[in-house]
Amino acid sequence: MAENDTTLLKVVAGSRLMNVSKYMTEQGIVVPHGECPLVAVGGHTQSGGYGHTLRFMVVLTDYVKSFRIVLADCSYISVYRPNMDPPARLSKVSDNDDIFFSVLGGGLGSFGVVVEYSYECVKDDDHPHSTGHSSTTKYSKKRFEPLFDTIQQYMMDCEKGDLDDDIDMMCTAISFDMDQLSVLEDWLPGSGTPQGRPTNNTADASSAGSSVTTSGTSIVDEEDDGRGFGIFLKGFIAVELLYGNRSGQPDTTSPSVADCFEKVYKNMLGNWLLAPTYVDFYATEHHGLLNMCDTWVRNYLIDGREFAYPYLKRFNATFQPLTKPFKDGFMQLVHDAISDNRVRVVFQIGLGGSQRRDHVNRKYTAVQRRDLMIGIGFDIFYTEGHKELAEGYQAKMKELLEETVKEKDTVKMIWASFGNTNIEEVWRKYYDSPEMYDRLRRIKYNLDPTTCSALSSRSRRPRAIGAPRLRKTAY
Ligand SMILES: Cc1cc2nc3c(=O)[nH]c(=O)nc-3n(C[C@H](O)[C@H](O)[C@H](O)COP(=O)(O)OP(=O)(O)OC[C@H]3O[C@@H](n4cnc5c(N)ncnc54)[C@H](O)[C@@H]3O)c2cc1C
């Protein structure tokens, strides 16, 4: 519900991202968020809410103005951001600031059950020159390489402080699946079928597939080998760029942001290949933040994911730019997986928010890892009988990371989503500093002494942080 204050949005915790995003778009308001349609804001807000606008808008948590929560002692209270006053005649509870801090980023579900959030949204009209670029082209290794080079260049610029803090970039590689067209329909909405609607009709599949040549003049690709994919399509690569127009004034950078985006797009196509490409929107025109953000919520109707197969999920992040050995090994891994029709791959890479360490609301929440340089999702879906193969691809990814990224440079983001879930052994991987973790433990003890003493008498060690177990999605 949007209140009279047109930037305030109240959302019940079970609301799905796809519905919240659609509603905000209708209201002309926006907050940063991730892209998975069926994720609910209940957990998403507590885990940060990282998405396509990480550099420009940082994380969803920073936009929380207040929330209502049931604590362990069954009290049902309102909690306000420390720099906010409660409405007239209401007052803050004594632990207000600690609860706000720890619920938002401290450990999913560890401090109570959130019932409702109020977000302070950004008005789309305040950024009249925002724009972006979104396009999808046929996957080929030759096209993937220059795109990866561009990513590396962005990372270097990001590290040197040369990349404007209102520019975001996200790149994706995804298998094509003849039987499950939700991917095709979502990435290529011009293909004629309603966006996101799954179909198992092979005849429809072929005709929709042939419309991939939306804007390319012809298909010329030396890597077309037709291995098991009927229409010579292994997968797609997509690039999504956003210019948030923080100042609200026309862009005067030289070269202009639109020109830079155009260059990335041309890199993706390669130097001389004519590629079948679908351009969703193009930086030469103004595109509202909210429309771009809403477009980037993937409205897959198959179980909220790209494919209806079971999958092994992996997400890795680092504070350092990627190294060449990682790049070379990873590109080969993606290529092998995308060429293997027993599995489906979804790879995604997003640039970090390392210039936004000083966000005004940062100090009020315990969100960890917001300064990450790069986040990489690598999910392997597997067809019947090929789970071991998927495990093999994930094992290779793990090996590659171990070989090419220093242990100290790897970070993890959501506790219990990786192998070892014993928080006492792994907390250093999930929390930015011992001070942060200790503070959260102290708050947990204050708020929930009964559970804490029960746990500590059983384990003989205090165990303050630790949500109920999440579904294990990676190792
Ligand atoms: C397919 C997929 C894609 C994702 N994409 C992104 C992304 O793009 N960006 C990003 O930042 N994250 C992403 N995530 C991570 C996601 O934000 C977290 O998993 C988040 O916790 C999901 O929230 P939920 O309410 O849907 O989760 P649930 O699975 O319902 O809950 C997860 C945990 O959150 C806690 N929780 C949930 N609701 C509440 C509540 N109301 N009060 C207290 N605790 C609660 C509970 O401890 C629960 O165990 C993705 C996850 C998946 C599975």
Can you say whether residue 303 is alpha, beta or left, with left for phi > 0 and alpha for psi between -120 and 50 degrees?
left
What number is the average pLDDT over the span 257-281?
76
The strand pairing partners of 77, in sequence order, are: 69
CA–centroid distance, residue 39 to ligand 1 (Å) = 6
Whether 113 shows a pLDDT value over 50: the answer reads: yes
Residue 333, pLDDT score: 96
What does the alpha-carbon distance between residue 98 and residue 65 come to, in Å, rounded to a whole number? 15
CA–centroid distance, residue 49 to ligand 1 (Å) = 9
What does the alpha-carbon distance between residue 211 and residue 232 come to, in Å, rounded to a whole number? 13
Least confident of 36-50, 239-253, 365-379: 365-379
| Common-topology check for domains 8-125 and 127-398 | no
pLDDT tens per residue, range 193-211:
323 222 333 222 222 222 2
Counting residues of the chain whose pLDDT is more than 90, the rounded percentage is: 47
Between 39 and 227, residue with greater pLDDT? 39
Atom of ligand 1 nearest to the CA of 13: 41
CA–centroid distance, residue 331 to ligand 1 (Å) = 29
Annotated domain spans of the chain: 8-125, 127-398
pLDDT tier for residue 5 given thresholds of 50, 70 and 90 = low
Residue 399, pLDDT score: 93
280-298 core/surface letters (b: 16 or more CB in 10 A; e: else): bbbbeeebbbbbbbbbbbb
To test the pocket of ligand 1, the residue of 108, 299, 301 to mutate (highest count of ligand atoms within 8 Å of its CB) is: 108
Query: How high does pLDDT run on average in the chain?
Result: 80
Whether 469 shows a pLDDT value over 60: the answer reads: no
pLDDT tens per residue, range 227-236:
333 446 889 8
Residue pair 135/268 in contact (Cβ under 8 Å)? The answer is yes
Residue pair 56/328 in contact (Cβ under 8 Å)? The answer is no
Strands (E), 304-373: 311-312, 315-318, 343-351
Spatial CA neighbour of 350 closest among 263, 272, 413, 283: 413
CATH number attached to the domain at 127-398: 3.40.462.20
Atom of ligand 1 nearest to the CA of 470: 49
To test the pocket of ligand 1, the residue of 35, 38, 44, 413 to mutate (highest count of ligand atoms within 8 Å of its CB) is: 44
DSSP tag of 250:
P
Query: What are the DSSP calls for 30-71, one per residue?
Result: E----S-TT-BHHHHHHT----TTHHHH--GGGGEEEEEEE-
Residue 335, pLDDT score: 95
What does the alpha-carbon distance between residue 215 and residue 219 come to, in Å, rounded to a whole number? 11
Residue 212, pLDDT score: 24
CA–centroid distance, residue 87 to ligand 1 (Å) = 29
Spatial CA neighbour of 347 closest among 380, 384, 396: 380
Tell me which architecture the domain covering 8-125 has in CATH.
2-Layer Sandwich (3.30)
